[in-house]
Amino acid sequence: MLEGFETREVTIEGATRKVHRCGEGPGVLVMHEIPGITPEVARFARIVADAGFTVEMPELFGVLGKPVSGGYVMGQMLQACIRQEFHVLSAHGTSPITDWLRALARALHEELGGKGIGAIGMCLTGNFALALMMEPALMAPVLSQPSLPFGIGKKRRAALHVTPEQLSCLKNRTAEGAGVLGLRFTHDPLCPPERFETLRRELGDGFEGIEIDSGPGNPHGLSRTAHSVVALEFVDEAGHPTREAVDRVLALFAERLQS
């Protein structure tokens, strides 16, 4: 599944994780979704690498290469709820694992140089690119179906899983040109619309949101439970909205990192 990737172990502040790398060019951090690095996530990482980027994909949870199933997803979701690295209900705080990811992002830019790096989070990691914007090297943050905090109650449905200090930094960074791109399906129960409304209100023109119609009778036959924009639900066909969303992600990386 990871043919063409190199794997190494990276230790930061006492925590060691496997990191898979592929491609050449400016750096892009791919933070995989629940339940883990599935074949569909690996396919997306390879698409980014083939577009002219050095992809680093840290292994955060799950079993490498294991296909998606309902039981696998629920098991990993329950584990995330009890792991200290993830604060799944925190509305105005972030998950501690983002400190490790920020250090990885900083090291990637120090090694490769250039204008900066990109980062995309998905599902459980979807909001993490916001916290990583505290790192000045991050110039192209992408949130794919950001699902933290879990949308229990009105407050959490609209929350961004960042501290007030981080939100202030986000506003400054976006005003300087490091705008945020967000992706979601319109009826995704795990990524409520209120979250994108908050991003638009707080970041203004610094937020670009792509919301793909997954309502009843939508023209592409997407399920109302569609969730994984760039991986599980991705359809590699011209004109399909998920293909267009991935093309926009690649264009953003090119605009911010290559031009």
How far, in Å, are 28, 100, 155, 207, 219 from residue 119 at the CA level? 5, 14, 26, 15, 30
**Would you say residue 10 lies in a domain?**
yes
Query: What span, in angstroms and rounded, lies between the C-alpha atoms of 198 and 157?
Result: 10
**What's the confidence (pLDDT) of residue 1?**
79
Nearest residue to 80 (alpha-carbon basis) of 41, 17, 33? 33
Query: Is residue 234 assigned to a domain?
Result: yes
Looking at the domain assignment, is residue 241 inside a domain?
Answer: yes
Residue range(s) defining the domain that contains residue 79: 6-258
* Total structural domains within the chain: 1
Is 19 a domain residue? Answer: yes
Q: Is residue 207 part of a domain?
A: yes
Residue 13 — very low, low, confident or very high, per pLDDT cuts 50/70/90? confident
Query: What are the residues facing 16 on neighbouring strands?
Result: 11
Express each pLDDT in 131-165 by its tens digit.
999 999 999 999 999 999 999 999 999 999 999 99
Distances in whole angstroms, Cα of residue 255 to Cα of each of 26, 115, 140, 212, 235: 12, 11, 9, 23, 24
1 inside domain: no
- State pLDDT tens for residues 181-236: 999 999 999 999 999 999 999 999 999 999 999 999 999 999 999 999 999 999 99
Q: How far apart are CA 209 and CA 175, in angstroms?
A: 17
Tokens of 139: 């110039």
User: Is the pLDDT at 113 greater than 80, yes or no?
Assistant: yes
Q: Is residue 33 part of a domain?
A: yes
pTM for the whole thing?
A: 0.97
* CATH number of the domain residue 52 falls in: 3.40.50.1820
In a domain, 49, yes or no: yes
Pairing assessment for the beta strands 54-58 and 117-122 based on DSSP bridges: unpaired
pLDDT value at residue 187: 97
For helices 241-253 and 39-50, angle between their N-to-C axes, nearest 10 degrees: 50
